[in-house]
Structure 1
């Protein structure tokens, strides 16, 4: 589990990065949204930050799903998937990517979905110096039951209407961008948050 820095400042903020990136997406409807809930995945190597955002603007429009990955160095051959860079007051410059193009996200997503695992908690040190572990505002869990999963070393995403398909070697992942109907897949990633639920992704 990665140790978070809840009092750190990010310039620009995650929301500002998302706001600037959404207009470049064909599945965006032009409606501004704010974060309704978020969850985290843990990188087994502890190097890459992985976070998923459910974005909403009220009951009149569908929620959107945007997963991001945070890296200390640029991801090779992924310039077109760069959401932006941000200055973290503790960690320094972070390169922020559409996580659908990040092999680490693809590997963890596949494992969580196929094995029936869940997302990570928020682990941090509070102002008193105490170590704390809290649930994220969105809870996610896979519905598979496999004991092992294939190794994923690549992630090549492309959009198909309201979903993003990710070719990941032996696996194909599908990530819902516009939430509503579950994407067609054999196993899925289910999310719940205060006031809502949705299927976010799957493995075909």
Structure 2
């Protein structure tokens, strides 16, 4: 993938991503964890071709289960069906609105493109010129499919279609390959 995502070196978000996600996770029917004990065990990013939407994907562990939680970050509220998770203050960008990426048209379009084209996540650079190594590498399997993009929210639970986004990563010293999303 030729795309590069730039993030602000040394920036902070308040509340933290996990603090912002905890109340929302409690309301999700697929979440069976304990929001008092959340740990980010991996992440990757996609780049919005328009440069407007931050696309962040987190792998979060709770009670031994790992959840795929993709979110989008916007500078203003979105009109339409997107599911607002909450608001946070970014130390450089100011107020940000965090959405469930699976309801955000920009994320759905980019993730679908990655799957169908057999593309990968973006390379992440900081404003200080450093390259951040990806903790999760994802790749689409290059299969075109009609249907809706669906996430595998709790890893290992089901595979909703043949056109898939596949993660390669290491957890607790063990190499893993997990389907994160599929079209079908």
Contact 2:71–2:100 at 8 Å: present in 1 too? yes
Equivalent residue runs for 1:1-204 within 5 Å:
1-32=4-35, 33-57=38-62, 61-78=64-81, 81-126=83-128, 131-144=129-142, 171-195=147-171, 196-204=176-184
The superposition leaves residues 70-121 of structure 1 with CA deviations (integer Å, 9 ceiling, x where unpaired) of 0011011246x11100011100100000001100000001000111000011
- For this pair of structures, how many residues does the alignment match? 175
Q: By how many angstroms is 1:137 displaced?
A: 1.1
Classify 1:145/1:24 alpha carbon distance in 2 versus 1 (closer, same or farther; 3 Å). closer
Contact 2:33–2:65 at 8 Å: present in 1 too? no
Runs of 4+ aligned structure 1 residues displaced above 6 Å come to none
* TM-score, structure 2 normalization: 0.88
Q: By how many angstroms is 1:182 displaced?
A: 4.1
Aligned counterparts of 2:170 and 2:9: Cα–Cα separation in 1: 21
Gaps of 5+ in 1: 150-169
Gaps of 5+ in 2: none
Aligned counterparts of 1:63 and 1:21: Cα–Cα separation in 2: 16
* TM-score, structure 1 normalization: 0.80
Q: By how many angstroms is 1:187 displaced?
A: 1.1
What root-mean-square deviation, in Å, do the aligned CA atoms of Structure 1 and Structure 2 show?
A: 1.8
The superposition leaves residues 133-174 of structure 1 with CA deviations (integer Å, 9 ceiling, x where unpaired) of 23321111000156xx9xxxxxxxxxxxxxxxxxxxx64111
